[in-house]
Amino acid sequence: MLLAALSMAVGTVLIRFVCRYADPVTATGWHIILGGLPLWGISAVVENQQWQNLVLSDWLNLGYATIFGSAIAYGLFFYFASSGNLTSLSSLTFLTPVFALIFGHLFLAEVLTPIQWLGVMLTLISIYLINQRENLAGQNQKATINENTNQQKPVLEASVTKKL
């Protein structure tokens, strides 16, 4: 898992560089091909008869996951990574386990423990704060500037009084 997180972080940073020279959709295609070929090779060596046992619904599920879960999702991710703020965008990846828990609860009747609900709430609050950090920093900076100008007024008034 640590290597997966590391490779995702490195890939997200590198995509900004790649998208200067290539279209995000093209970059997505190469990303999927270069990541998928080694996995396909390992699967061919380790697994037995993985293709022969697939029925039509399996092929449809595989196609759906390939198109929507990988190609379109990564295409949009790389497009926004090339043009947006990486910190805000990367924070949204924390929504994946949140959606998994919520949809598991709604559709599969999984029971979530209070600690899981707490984790969902903390994740949502954290994502909100990360995406609002510039607004919060701007408000803090305005407050600091107002404090500094209020503290400097007596000094200015004293110097004006001396001149009069």
pTM of the model: 0.48
Same structural domain, 104 and 145: yes
Same structural domain, 79 and 9: yes
Same structural domain, 98 and 135: yes
* Residue 162 clears pLDDT 60, i.e. is over it: no
Pick the last residue of a domain from 84, 118, 153.
Answer: 84
Digit-coded pLDDT (tens) for 92-147: 777 888 888 888 889 889 998 999 999 989 989 988 888 787 777 776 666 666 66
Kindly state whether residue 33 falls inside one of the protein's structural domains.
yes
Same structural domain, 127 and 146: yes
Domain of residue 137 covers: 87-163
Task: Tell me how far CA of residue 33 lies from CA of 27, 37, 67, 68, in angstroms.
Answer: 10, 6, 13, 16
| 50 DSSP 8-state letter | T
Rounded to an integer, what distance in angstroms lies between the CA atom of residue 77 and that of residue 127? 16
Q: At 27, list the tokens.
A: 């970059």
Structural domains in the chain (count)? 2
Kindly state whether residue 48 falls inside one of the protein's structural domains.
no
pLDDT, residue 113, reads: 93
Kindly state whether residue 45 falls inside one of the protein's structural domains.
no
Rounded to an integer, what distance in angstroms lies between the CA atom of residue 66 and that of residue 59? 10
Kindly state whether residue 103 falls inside one of the protein's structural domains.
yes
